[in-house]
């Protein structure tokens, strides 16, 4: 994994999901802030008093809260950037574990931090920068199982663990965590707002809450959600089988050829040749121009390789049309770095697609993933989809309780295509009765040049760090829509330089004004496609 070198930061975290060796170190690169504003900061309920905080933290040990037993309680002292915090770990059978962070100076907001991948471990750091410094009480969980006991996808062969992973863990954890919060902060917890933020598998969890448990959270933030899970994973098998065809593999030099072609055709369409294709909808390259006219060479694609590109870029169906997958935009993973594309045909995709086909579908660890025929497992696939997929666009229950939703996706995500989030958003808009009705409770933002839940430098050429938690809490607390403020994303790998771009609501894109510092957000205007 790569960690960004930092000299000045408010928040650093690592995201390592079992899906990927890609680790995201998302952080606020500039000490000047994210541009998202500060939000409300009520006075602390529990000013740090020596002794009292330690006693309060110790008091949790071995106590039970709604079926969970507290097995650890640790008080960490205040630092230059983070408040004194009591972290408690709760466990409930069979393997569900969670963590609640209780800052002594609490801002009266509660953030549930989503995990990712196949979970099995607790990832307690927020994607939005500034959370750890700002006094949020936070909750995180392993989503039901211990990956040390059940590596990779093997846990799903236990129906209880599958249920907890799919949908069951969060309501149970939240009930226990609320009891912990009330014990620490008193009944004022009942007046606090609760938000769920997650990426990838955590993004799926965010959508699950809005779709199936609309009373649990006041707001949900779904980044790069893995919500069309069944289609996504069956597509992994489809692309792996395609790449395994004779002469159909895409080597790194071939991918570079593909990426350079996309850049030559589409980079300038957003007004600036900067290596970031910020207006992907306008990008319609003719891949036939890449066809080898003579001998095979790194600078061209053979017919078999063009067929692989077709699977990458064209919407497709899997399992005999039972499930669909929208594939990548023409600015997808091919513009990410080499390591990402090595993963497309290599380790990560093979692990993901392989574990899914072996454990989820065939329920046979010895199965050959590429030879598991989805058509032989349609009942199992439908069962998995009912449990895990989070594709229901009917959010009427969530709307009725005044819930708010933010969607976000990076354009160069090579693991889950941005097109999938766009599809879901369009369906939500339609189900809500149109754009005006949808705008009251859901906003969808696009992060041009950002990879899958990842921080730079591995995570793409654009900015990667953006605070969505502050705009969400302000939305649900004050009614100020995120779109009514300027939300700025920062490139975390270069904190001194601090490339920044405005976050634009789909289908708008950040268009260069023609003049001004290309690293300044003010040099771009969110523009609707013509």
Interatomic CA distance for residues 286 and 55, integer angstroms:
67
Q: Does 510 bind Ca ion (CB under 5 A)?
A: no
Binders of Ca ion in range 256-315 (CB under 5 A): 267, 270, 272, 274, 276
Q: Which residue from 335, 370, 364 is spatially nearest to 236, judged by alpha carbons?
A: 370
- Ramachandran category for residue 345: left, alpha or beta (phi over 0 → left; psi -120 to 50 → alpha): alpha
Q: How far is the CB of 251 from Ca ion (least distance, A)?
A: 26
Q: Beta strand pairing status for 96-103 and 85-92?
A: antiparallel
Q: Which is nearer to Ca ion, 353 or 462 (CB)?
A: 462
Q: Does 467 bind Ca ion (CB under 5 A)?
A: no
Q: Tell me the β-bridge partners of 445.
A: 408, 505
Contact yes or no for 242/316 (Cβ under 8 A): no
* Window 216-255: contact mask with Ca ion (x via CB under 5 A): ----------------------------------------
Q: Which is nearer to Ca ion, 210 or 331 (CB)?
A: 331
Q: How far is the CB of 512 from Ca ion (least distance, A)?
A: 7
Q: Does 389 bind Ca ion (CB under 5 A)?
A: no
Q: Does 463 bind Ca ion (CB under 5 A)?
A: no
Q: How far is the CB of 494 from Ca ion (least distance, A)?
A: 18
- Rounded to 5 degrees, what are φ and ψ at 394? -80, 100
Q: How far is the CB of 334 from Ca ion (least distance, A)?
A: 15
DSSP-based three-state secondary structure for 242: helix
Size of the site for Ca ion (CB under 5 A): 5
Q: Which is nearer to Ca ion, 147 or 269 (CB)?
A: 269
Helix 229-243 with 338-345: angle, nearest 10 deg: 90
Q: Which is nearer to Ca ion, 273 or 289 (CB)?
A: 273
Q: Which residue has the tokens 């606020």?
A: 28
Q: How far is the CB of 266 from Ca ion (least distance, A)?
A: 8
Q: Does 423 bind Ca ion (CB under 5 A)?
A: no
* Window 178-197: contact mask with Ca ion (x via CB under 5 A): --------------------
Q: Does 164 bind Ca ion (CB under 5 A)?
A: no
Q: Which is nearer to Ca ion, 214 or 285 (CB)?
A: 285
Q: How far is the CB of 264 from Ca ion (least distance, A)?
A: 12
Q: How far is the CB of 272 from Ca ion (least distance, A)?
A: 5
Interatomic CA distance for residues 288 and 91, integer angstroms:
56
- What is each CA distance from 248 to 311, 340, 369, in whole angstroms? 11, 18, 19
Q: Which is nearer to Ca ion, 267 or 337 (CB)?
A: 267
Q: Does 330 bind Ca ion (CB under 5 A)?
A: no
DSSP-based three-state secondary structure for 512: strand
Q: Does 450 bind Ca ion (CB under 5 A)?
A: no
Contact yes or no for 335/259 (Cβ under 8 A): yes
Q: Which is nearer to Ca ion, 276 or 395 (CB)?
A: 276
**Element containing residue 133 per DSSP (H, E):** none
Contacts of 366 (CB under 8 A, 6+ apart): 358
- Kindly tell me the sign of the dihedral angle through the C-alpha atoms of 123, 127, 133, 134: negative
Interatomic CA distance for residues 274 and 524, integer angstroms:
13
Q: Which is nearer to Ca ion, 270 or 451 (CB)?
A: 270
Q: How far is the CB of 522 from Ca ion (least distance, A)?
A: 17
Q: How far is the CB of 449 from Ca ion (least distance, A)?
A: 8
Q: Which is nearer to Ca ion, 272 or 469 (CB)?
A: 272
Q: Does 501 bind Ca ion (CB under 5 A)?
A: no
- Rounded to the nearest angstrom, the gap between the alpha carbon of residue 177 and the centroid of all alpha carbons in its chain is 23
Helix 229-243 with 303-313: angle, nearest 10 deg: 170
- Give contact residues for Ca ion (rule: CB under 5 A): 267, 270, 272, 274, 276
């Amino acid at each position: 994994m790569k960690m960004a070198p930092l000299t000045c930061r408010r928040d650093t975290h690592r995201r390592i999901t079992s899906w990927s060796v890609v680790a995201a170190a998302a952080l606020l690169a500039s000490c000047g802030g994210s541009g998202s504003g500060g939000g409300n900061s009520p006075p602390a309920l529990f000013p740090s008093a020596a002794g009292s905080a330690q006693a309060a933290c110790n008091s949790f040990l071995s106590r039970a809260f709604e079926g969970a037993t507290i097995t650890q309680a640790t008080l960490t002292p205040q630092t230059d950037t983070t408040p004194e915090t009591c972290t408690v770990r709760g466990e409930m059978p069979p393997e569900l574990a969670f963590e609640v962070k209780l800052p002594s100076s609490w801002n009266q907001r509660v953030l549930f931090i989503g995990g990712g991948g196949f979970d099995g471990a607790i990832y307690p750091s927020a994607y939005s920068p500034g959370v750890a410094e700002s006094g949020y009480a936070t909750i995180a969980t392993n989503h039901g199982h211990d990956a040390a006991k059940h590596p990779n996808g093997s846990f799903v062969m236990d129906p209880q663990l599958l249920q907890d992973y799919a949908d069951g863990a969060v309501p149970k954890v939240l009930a226990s965590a609320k009891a912990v919060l009330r014990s620490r902060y008193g009944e004022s917890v009942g007046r606090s707002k609760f938000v769920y933020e997650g990426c990838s598998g955590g993004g799926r969890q965010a959508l699950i809450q809005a779709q199936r448990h609309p009373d649990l959270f006041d707001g949900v933030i779904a980044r790069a959600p893995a919500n069309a899970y069944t289609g996504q994973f069956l597509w992994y098998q489809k692309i792996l089988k395609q790449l395994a065809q004779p002469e159909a593999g895409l080597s790194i030099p071939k991918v570079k050829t593909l990426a350079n072609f996309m850049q030559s055709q589409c980079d300038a369409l957003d007004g600036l040749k900067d290596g970031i294709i910020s207006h992907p909808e306008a990008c319609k390259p003719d891949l036939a121009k890449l066809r080898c006219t003579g001998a095979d060479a790194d600078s061209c694609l053979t017919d078999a390789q063009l067929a692989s590109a077709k699977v990458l870029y064209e919407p497709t169906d899997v399992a005999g049309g039972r499930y669909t997958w929208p594939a990548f935009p023409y600015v997808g993973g091919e513009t990410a770095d080499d390591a990402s594309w090595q993963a497309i045909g290599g380790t990560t995709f093979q692990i993901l697609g392989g574990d899914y086909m072996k454990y989820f579908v065939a329920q046979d660890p010895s199965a050959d993933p590429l030879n598991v025929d989805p058509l032989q497992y349609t009942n199992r696939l439908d069962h998995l989809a009912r449990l895990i997929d989070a594709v229901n666009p009917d959010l009427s229950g969530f709307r009725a309780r005044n819930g708010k939703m933010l969607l976000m996706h990076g354009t160069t995500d090579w693991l889950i295509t941005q097109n999938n989030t766009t599809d879901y958003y369009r369906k939500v808009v339609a189900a809500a009765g149109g754009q005006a009705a949808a705008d009251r409770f859901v906003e969808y933002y696009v992060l041009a040049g950002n990879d899958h839940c990842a921080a730079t430098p591995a995570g793409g050429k654009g900015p990667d760090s953006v605070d969505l938690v502050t705009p969400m809490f302000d939305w649900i607390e004050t009614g100020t829509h995120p779109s009514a403020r300027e939300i700025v994303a920062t490139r975390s790998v270069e904190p001194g330089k601090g490339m920044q771009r405005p976050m634009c609501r789909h289908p708008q894109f950040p268009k260069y004004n023609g003049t001004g510092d290309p690293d300044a957000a003010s040099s771009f205007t969110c523009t609707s496609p013509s």
